[in-house]
């Protein structure tokens, strides 16, 4: 997500060029200098030249990077390399993907982390084919001229059915307006073989100044770039956004002193969404992870997380966490049928009793990731996850 504008090299940087024994024999016999690798000194028949001496041969230039990437400068309809094409009247994007072996877990189904990565990849490929992509992480030419980058403010993913290893999927994605200064991006994942919709996702994006790290209004030139691509269609209908309460130190589950690794950072130099998800899932009880499958997740982003932050992950179950190891917690038994309709009461009776009914009900957790501070902690992400019993799924999404 960070644009590369200049390339600088330290004076101590070197390029090592291999030479023949004959070419280097004289230097090797008369030089008293040693080459030190991992603290060990040894003599070697190689010639070391400073980077400034071989600048003409260095391949890492902006021009050559542009040639290697071959970013389109105008709208493309088909991308054979990425198995993508423009749909929805010329403004939506569809990509065919295959679930790889490294994208599945022990049960041979795709992990949620893999699904989130596919959402990000197809979104970037959509911008790639639009002809609007600059050298930033999904940023348009107008955004780069204004030092702006995209940041996600909210994301929701609903998964009715997890794809399996080797399955071929079609992923559709499109964008639309979100208020005056934001953009909405939606996704739909379906089986290419059956057409069954596996998952839906929606997200809201805003712009941030790359230098000041503050949110920014959408410049008119950027609005002019994006508006022709907007579609008035939603993958997930939301009449009102579900509120996520802020947790405190009294949360039931907590994991402290989490430290981002270098590999967790994206091109904008902040922690990526997949890492947030992993930190959240680490606080879910093992019993739930073994017996349930993640059905839905909502993430509300409050601030970016950098490499120097120390993170704390908090988790609190909602009242539906009442069946653990086959036992009902006693504090839920008093008003068991309060608020249940006659239809749901009938389902309890006909479905095998109270325990069977509650085993099939989804379990929900509220999450909070916060950066630990000297005086006070700062919120990074609020989240909510919904879990369903393995082997029990809702009716599939309509196509």
Q: Which residues are catalytic?
A: 268, 270, 305
Task: List C-alpha distances in Å: 60 to 78, 123, 133, 141, 339.
Answer: 29, 27, 20, 22, 65
CB 66 within 8 A of CB 73: no
d(CA 51, CA 58): 8
Half-sphere exposure of 388 (CA within 13 A, CB side): 13
Closest CA to 297 of 314, 278, 310, 312: 278
Supply angle C-alpha 285, 256, 310, rounded to 5: 140
Task: List C-alpha distances in Å: 135 to 146, 244, 251, 267.
Answer: 13, 35, 42, 11
CB 197 within 8 A of CB 398: yes
């Amino acid at each position: 997500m960070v644009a590369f504008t200049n390339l600088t090299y330290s004076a101590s940087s070197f390029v090592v060029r291999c030479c023949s024994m004959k070419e280097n024999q004289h230097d090797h016999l008369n030089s008293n200098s040693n080459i030190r690798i991992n603290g060990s000194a040894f003599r070697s028949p190689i010639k070391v030249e400073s980077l400034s001496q071989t600048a003409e041969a260095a391949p890492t230039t902006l021009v050559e990077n542009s040639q290697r990437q071959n970013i389109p400068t105008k709208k493309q309809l088909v991308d054979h390399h990425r198995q993508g094409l423009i749909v929805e009247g010329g403004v939506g994007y569809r990509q065919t993907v295959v679930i790889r072996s490294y994208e599945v877990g022990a049960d041979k189904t795709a992990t949620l982390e893999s699904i989130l990565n596919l959402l990000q990849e197809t979104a970037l490929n959509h911008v790639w084919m639009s002809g609007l992509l600059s050298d930033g992480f999904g940023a348009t030419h107008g955004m780069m001229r204004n030092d702006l980058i995209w940041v996600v403010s909210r994301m929701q993913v609903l998964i009715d059915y997890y794809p399996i290893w080797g399955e071929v999927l079609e992923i559709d994605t499109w964008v639309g307006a979100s208020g005056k200064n934001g953009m909405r991006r939606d996704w739909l994942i379906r089986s290419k073989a059956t057409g069954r919709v596996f998952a839906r996702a929606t997200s809201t994006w805003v712009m941030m100044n790359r230098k000041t790290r503050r949110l920014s209004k959408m410049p008119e030139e950027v609005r002019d770039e994006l508006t022709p691509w907007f579609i008035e269609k939603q993958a997930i209908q939301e009449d009102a956004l579900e509120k996520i309460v802020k947790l405190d130190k009294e949360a039931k589950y907590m994991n402290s002193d989490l430290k981002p690794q270098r590999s967790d950072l994206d091109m904008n130099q902040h922690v990526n969404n997949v890492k947030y998800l992993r930190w959240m899932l680490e606080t879910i009880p093992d019993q739930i992870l073994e017996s349930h499958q993640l059905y839905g997740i909502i993430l509300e982003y409050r601030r970016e997380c950098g490499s120097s932050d120390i993170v704390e992950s908090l988790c609190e179950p909602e009242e539906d966490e009442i069946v653990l190891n086959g036992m009902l917690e006693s504090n839920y038994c008093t008003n068991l049928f309060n608020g249940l309709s006659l239809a749901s009461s009938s389902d309890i009776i006909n479905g095998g009793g109270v325990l069977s009914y509650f085993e099939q009900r989804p379990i929900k957790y509220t999450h909070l990731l916060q950066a630990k501070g000297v005086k006070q902690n700062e919120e990074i992400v609020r989240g909510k996850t919904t879990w369903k019993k393995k082997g029990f799924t809702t009716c599939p999404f309509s196509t």
